[in-house]
């Protein structure tokens, strides 16, 4: 079965959304692991001699939520891609009105989750960086990656990972918004299907009269 162009574009966007979600989830999980399982978002850093330490981390569930939402949405995109590739190559199936309605609802939920996750990453990273800079050991979070942390080995590339997770989340948000627009377009196209003109339609009479002139009844 040949997919329509909006659905082919939708699948291409899902492929990109899968990559963005996977990058965001992996980057945040790696960062949380480098802090020994503690969540650095909205955390407070403290000075320990010439090194830094995460004195007041956030609850681990905060990072679990962001990484989990990104990871689950990436998994959804992957499964959807595999399903439609299988359906278009082997089976003669199409997405009905009910399936499209579910897709629209899911896209709205996905956009909300990604927006919340992106905001948590944005403001959580900013709060941590402000705490680090206020200690006046380094001038930026990027420089804080180059000095030692307590315990040793903590916070390896934490800012780069958090920055990558945030950028991926914002890009993912844009992709899902475009997906929602495409799904809305498909809903509108299916709600007003094309129907050829028939002889009894008023439009048929007006078109034929314009081309051939009206036929007056013979007395």
Arithmetic mean of pLDDT over the chain: 84
Residue 13 has pLDDT above 80, yes or no: yes
State what percent of residues in the chain have pLDDT above 70: 81
Residue 193 has pLDDT above 80, yes or no: no
pLDDT band at 199 (very low <50, low <70, confident <90, very high): low
171 or 9: which leads in pLDDT: 171
- 47-85 pLDDT tens trace: 887 789 998 899 999 999 999 999 999 999 999 988 877
**pLDDT value at position 96?**
66
Range of the domain at 145: 5-88+97-190
Kindly state the helix (H) or strand (E) to which residue 6 belongs, with its residue range.
Answer: helix 5-34
The domain tally of the chain equals: 1
Considering the domain boundaries, does residue 186 fall inside one? yes
CA 197/CA 138 separation, integer angstroms: 74
Q: Is 155 helix (H, G, I), strand (E, B) or coil?
A: coil
In the block, tokens 């036929």 appear at 215
**pLDDT value at position 204?**
46
Considering the domain boundaries, does residue 196 fall inside one? no
Cβ-based neighbours of 192, under 8 Å, separated by 6 or more: none
Considering the domain boundaries, does residue 215 fall inside one? no
Considering the domain boundaries, does residue 44 fall inside one? yes
Considering the domain boundaries, does residue 118 fall inside one? yes
pLDDT band at 207 (very low <50, low <70, confident <90, very high): very low
Considering the domain boundaries, does residue 139 fall inside one? yes
- 153-192 pLDDT tens trace: 777 889 999 999 999 999 999 999 999 999 888 888 776 5
CA distances from 95 to 7, 17, 83, 173 (A): 10, 20, 11, 24
Residue 216 has pLDDT above 50, yes or no: no
Considering the domain boundaries, does residue 62 fall inside one? yes
Considering the domain boundaries, does residue 218 fall inside one? no
């Amino acid at each position: 079965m040949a997919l329509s162009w909006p659905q082919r574009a939708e699948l291409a966007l899902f492929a990109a959304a899968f990559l963005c979600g996977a990058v965001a989830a992996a980057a945040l999980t790696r960062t949380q692991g480098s802090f020994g399982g503690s969540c650095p978002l909205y955390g407070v850093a403290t000075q320990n001699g010439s090194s830094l330490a995460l004195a007041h981390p956030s609850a681990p569930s905060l990072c679990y939520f962001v990484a989990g939402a990104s990871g689950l949405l990436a998994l959804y995109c992957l499964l959807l891609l595999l399903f439609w590739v299988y359906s278009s190559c082997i089976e003669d199936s199409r997405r009905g009105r009910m399936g499209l309605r579910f897709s629209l609802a899911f896209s709205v939920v996905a956009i909300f989750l990604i927006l919340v996750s992106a905001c948590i990453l944005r403001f959580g990273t900013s709060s941590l960086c402000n705490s680090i800079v206020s200690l006046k050991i380094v001038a930026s979070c990027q420089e804080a990656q180059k000095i030692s942390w307590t315990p040793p080995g903590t916070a390896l590339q934490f800012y780069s990972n958090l920055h990558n997770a945030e950028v991926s989340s914002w890009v993912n948000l844009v992709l899902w918004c475009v997906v929602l627009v495409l799904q809305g377009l498909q809903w509108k196209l299916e709600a007003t299907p094309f129907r050829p003109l028939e002889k009894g339609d008023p439009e048929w009479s007006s078109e034929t009269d314009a081309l051939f002139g009206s036929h007056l009844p013979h007395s």
